[in-house]
Structure 1
Amino acid sequence: MAERSLSSSLMRGAVWLGAGRASESLIGLLSTVILARLLAPEDFGVVALAVALTEIVSAFTTMHLSNALIQLKEEKIGHYHAAWTLALIRGLLIAIVISLCAIPYANAFNDPRLLPLTMACAGILFVGSLENPRLTHFSRQLIFWQTFALTLVSRVAYLAIIIAVALIYKNYWAIIAGSLAATCARVIVSYALFPFLPRISLKYAKDLLSFSIWLTFYQTVTALNNRIDQILVGSFLGQAKLGVYDMGVRLASIPTKQATQPIIATLFPGFSKIHREKKDLPSYFSKSQALLASIGLPAGIGFALLADRAVPWALGEKWIEAIPVVEFITVIFAIRTIVSPASALAMSMGKTRLMFFNNLLVFLVRVPLMVAGVISFGLIGAVAGRVAAGLFSTFIDLRMAKHLAGLTIRAQLWAARRSIASVMVMAAAVRALEIFMEWRGLEWSAFVMIVLIATIGAIIYLGTHVLLWRLDGAPQGVETTVLTQLKKAPVLRAFLL
């Protein structure tokens, strides 16, 4: 009964987060298309450099206070006052440090636009530090509707402002203005959802910092991993190429991130609850891997198959150079969904030190790969370096999960075997269809081709998945849950049975 209750809570949470992600995905895609058509690649490049500095500097003091609050065995109101105080102090200090770094940073790239942009990013970061920490109480109880509300309001505010500013000024300030509007909206709504009057207090700060110190180190290296390629591309290839690369990475992250993040967001509080109650954590971890792979692999690989048509259709011909960036990086994002629960597992077990050293190892491998790629082959070299580093990172996460959950690498991949096989069949079928249509001279509008290929690919993936599941003896798994829900629809019952 308790297990069903936990599963139901996680499922409801995933539904709320899924609704939030769906709205975020739709609004985010719309805003990206609008900005891509109104702004130049160089605009995205200069903003990417400003954001890179902000994220790297802020990562050095990231305290993961929300995660620390979730993991507490017993929560007290003093913990929330301490969390708000620590976030306020951190936000103020980081804003000051980033502002001081802005001048030498702008001089290093010989671009005066970076000075006001970087300082604006620092201000946005400070405003975000004021968010209500009491919302974490909902996550501890596996309640996630408030995340949907925060996401929806902030993204609507972002879209409204970027459209207005982009239409009026047609420059990079539209991105900054939208981010500021989204952050302000998020802070205001956080207090409307859970009224809380914070006060400055560090009485329980030690309880939070003892958990988050290694997460701070981990997040620092993560920020370096996520942004070092942009700094390298901007330094060696210029801001126009960086804009193309940044747009490609943005688009590449959309399918897998939006499809899997609602589930991933429930894993840490879910794993933490399972770990506290000493339940079968390895079993839950394996199921989460299978579920995320079944969603993330087709979303990512499918988008990569459509990139050559979708990018110019959605963004315009000036972004054609971003197509290979999207194709290759989307694939590595899709592959990494198999190991995406590993970080949540490590945090739930308090193994943040292990996370840090693993991420540091990935960073030490990634930097020389990226430098060699950018210097030798330009933009394509940067993509190749990121893909190679992504594969290495996936192997490291598989090893970490083996250590923590006692599941061999083979067992982890075996859990996703039907999804892996199905997505390979889907990719082969889509490519065969494209070759056949080219041979017969069949070519329609880009939109029609995108819809046709996406529909056929989805049907082939789902059909292959169900067939392999049947041949596998119809074991309990993600297929069981999905088919149980679908069988409730009278129209589908006869077909599925």
Structure 2
Amino acid sequence: MTNTADNFEKKSSESIIWFTVLPPILHIFRFISSIILARILSPHDFGIMGIITVMIHYSNNISNFGLTNAVIQRTKLASHHIDAFFCFNIGISTILFLLFYFLSPSIASYFNIYELETATQVFATMFLITALSDIPQAILQRELDYKFLALIEAVNVFLSIIISLVLALNGFGYWSIIIATIASNFVAMLLMIIKAKIRPHISIKHQYLKDLMSFGVWDFIWGQSKIIGDHIDKLIIGKYLGSEQLGYYDKAASIAQMPNDQIAKRVAMVSFSTFSRCRHEISELKKHFSKAFSICAFLNTPLYIGLFLVAEDFTLLILGEKWTPMIPVFKIFSLSFLIMAINEPISALNRAAGKLKIQTISRIILLIVLITNLIYFADQGTLTLSYIILYFNFASLISSFIILQTVINLAPSTSIKLLLPPTLSVTVMYLGITAYLQFYNTSGDWFSFILSITIGATIYTACFFLIPFSEWNFLRANALNKLQGKFS
């Protein structure tokens, strides 16, 4: 029993390392690619992709109806569960593909952007690719094989970068992103199918589908509320403010959300699998949650506060002066996504531990308030809407934390202790960077920009190793062991 528990914890830790270390490294290349694309393509191109990506991404998540996480969470999984998942997924995805294909003229007319018609028809093939990817990906996640998933993502990222840059340089505009996305995801789909060795059959047995639906329905509703909350602002801006303003807004949001997507969401994804396996052991839940929460706070806090501090230089030096209007929104998003990142492991535990229904209901109530305010204040501009998103994410964090208390009864003092190390360390980092910028009164050049980042990273690293926060002991131990192994 002890060996099984040790193996489980080892595999869980290994999964977090692979799924949160390799992808962010890859994301550096993706980020560089996005900067190059931003210099080649126009804000109008990114506005078109912002609209079409939101529509397809949202609808794509309808196709599996929450069954992916139902497969991961189940204690026992039969082949008939896989068959039911496969048939249901393919059926819904095919319907969505046809729906978007034939409604594309109406979509283009609604946004008054004629390019959307053909772009939507082509990009709708992602429905079919995702449907075939969901089953092998769910199996690999269930088995905590995140190492392979990280390697698959590496293939996806590099293919996407190569194809998009080649096409963009040859004048394909937004088509360079569409073609690269479809091609890279298709290859990733094939590799996952081969690895998972799943051969589902065209067969649906009602009882097995019902087994998955019992969890999947609420997970589906939760997922839809999450996606709407993450993307509804872009649709509203595209409608009321036009593609150019959406281009600025979407670029600010897409850059700011990178640490959340590449760190916090990945930690939460692995943690959901881990929490699901030990959800009946409160002590184990507390232990794994404390680690996941500490990792998210430790990594995301300095990244987002750093982005906030260097937002202006970052935009002007890396993206170029044509992106200047996005700077105020970019700063607000840096704070907004920090709050979202801290909330990721909390909501993952709530859902895995059986509090999915109440988590979803609270999210829907907040979402109704969000949409009402976004529409009402749409004419106030993108900065006002970014503040509304900030308040929404903060309210979501408070709501998730209250629900968490019913799961593991985490004392407020414990929560403060988990947040104290990164908060104090990033405060010291903030003061150091601010003092440098004010004392030397330099900004707008590469030397100042790079030195600001170097100072911030050095200060935060020094705090990590020198200040004896007990909450960081496991992180320090791992870091020191790796350093000793490297130099011994």
**In 2, distance between residues paired with 1:112 and 1:148?**
37
Would the aligned equivalents of 2:61 and 2:224 in 1 still touch at CA under 8 Å? yes
Does residue 421 (structure 1) correspond to residue 424 (structure 2)? The answer is yes
Would the aligned equivalents of 2:316 and 2:323 in 1 still touch at CA under 8 Å? yes
Does residue 329 (structure 1) correspond to residue 366 (structure 2)? The answer is no
**In 2, distance between residues paired with 1:179 and 1:305?**
32
1:37 to 39, 50, 53: 39
Matched pairs, number: 483
Does residue 481 (structure 1) correspond to residue 475 (structure 2)? The answer is yes
Q: Deviations over 1:162-203 (max 9, x none)?
A: 112212224111111111112211111112223333321212
Q: Deviations over 1:99-150 (max 9, x none)?
A: 3432222211222211112222321122221126244333333221210122
> Which runs of 5 or more structure 1 residues have no equivalent in the other structure?
none
Would the aligned equivalents of 2:75 and 2:277 in 1 still touch at CA under 8 Å? no
Would the aligned equivalents of 2:156 and 2:185 in 1 still touch at CA under 8 Å? yes
Q: Which moved more, 1:327-336 or 1:409-418?
A: 409-418
1:97-496 aligned within 5 A: 97-131=99-133, 133-203=135-205, 204-276=208-280, 279-376=283-380, 378-409=381-412, 411-438=414-441, 442=442, 445-446=445-446, 448-468=447-467, 470=468, 475=470, 477-486=471-480, 489=483
Equivalent position amino acid for 1:431 in 2: T
Equivalent position amino acid for 1:353 in 2: K
Q: Secondary structure at the match of 1:48?
A: helix
**In 2, distance between residues paired with 1:435 and 1:125?**
51
**In 1, distance between residues paired with 2:482 and 2:124?**
51
Equivalent position amino acid for 1:90 in 2: I
**In 2, distance between residues paired with 1:68 and 1:355?**
16
Give 1:208 deviation, angstroms. Answer: 1.4
Q: Secondary structure at the match of 2:269?
A: helix
Equivalent position amino acid for 2:114 in 1: P
Equivalent position amino acid for 1:42 in 2: H
Give 1:443 deviation, angstroms. Answer: 5.8
Aligned counterpart, 2:85: 83
Would the aligned equivalents of 1:486 and 1:492 in 2 still touch at CA under 8 Å? no
Would the aligned equivalents of 1:45 and 1:242 in 2 still touch at CA under 8 Å? yes
**In 2, distance between residues paired with 1:303 and 1:27?**
18
Cα distance change on mapping 1:22 and 1:55 into 2, 3 Å: closer
**In 2, distance between residues paired with 1:308 and 1:207?**
51
**In 1, distance between residues paired with 2:14 and 2:484?**
24
Would the aligned equivalents of 2:317 and 2:445 in 1 still touch at CA under 8 Å? no
**In 1, distance between residues paired with 2:485 and 2:15?**
28
Q: Which moved more, 1:73-82 or 1:49-58?
A: 49-58
Q: Secondary structure at the match of 1:309?
A: helix
Would the aligned equivalents of 2:282 and 2:408 in 1 still touch at CA under 8 Å? no
Would the aligned equivalents of 2:225 and 2:367 in 1 still touch at CA under 8 Å? yes
Q: Secondary structure at the match of 1:282?
A: helix
Cα distance change on mapping 1:444 and 1:175 into 2, 3 Å: closer
Cα distance change on mapping 1:171 and 1:430 into 2, 3 Å: same
Would the aligned equivalents of 1:39 and 1:170 in 2 still touch at CA under 8 Å? no
Would the aligned equivalents of 2:66 and 2:219 in 1 still touch at CA under 8 Å? yes
Give 1:346 deviation, angstroms. Answer: 2.1
Q: Which moved more, 1:123-132 or 1:70-79?
A: 123-132
Aligned counterpart, 1:95: 97
Q: Secondary structure at the match of 1:130?
A: helix
Cα distance change on mapping 1:389 and 1:250 into 2, 3 Å: same
Give 1:229 deviation, angstroms. Answer: 0.5
TM-score normalised by the chain length of structure 1: 0.90
**In 2, distance between residues paired with 1:492 and 1:20?**
18
Give 1:381 deviation, angstroms. Answer: 1.1
Give 1:444 deviation, angstroms. Answer: 8.0
TM-score normalised by the chain length of structure 2: 0.92
**In 2, distance between residues paired with 1:280 and 1:490?**
29
**In 1, distance between residues paired with 2:213 and 2:168?**
41
Would the aligned equivalents of 1:157 and 1:182 in 2 still touch at CA under 8 Å? yes
Equivalent position amino acid for 1:436 in 2: F
**In 1, distance between residues paired with 2:351 and 2:478?**
32
Equivalent position amino acid for 2:316 in 1: P
Cα distance change on mapping 1:46 and 1:137 into 2, 3 Å: closer
Would the aligned equivalents of 1:259 and 1:299 in 2 still touch at CA under 8 Å? no
Cα distance change on mapping 1:233 and 1:31 into 2, 3 Å: same
**In 2, distance between residues paired with 1:9 and 1:451?**
37
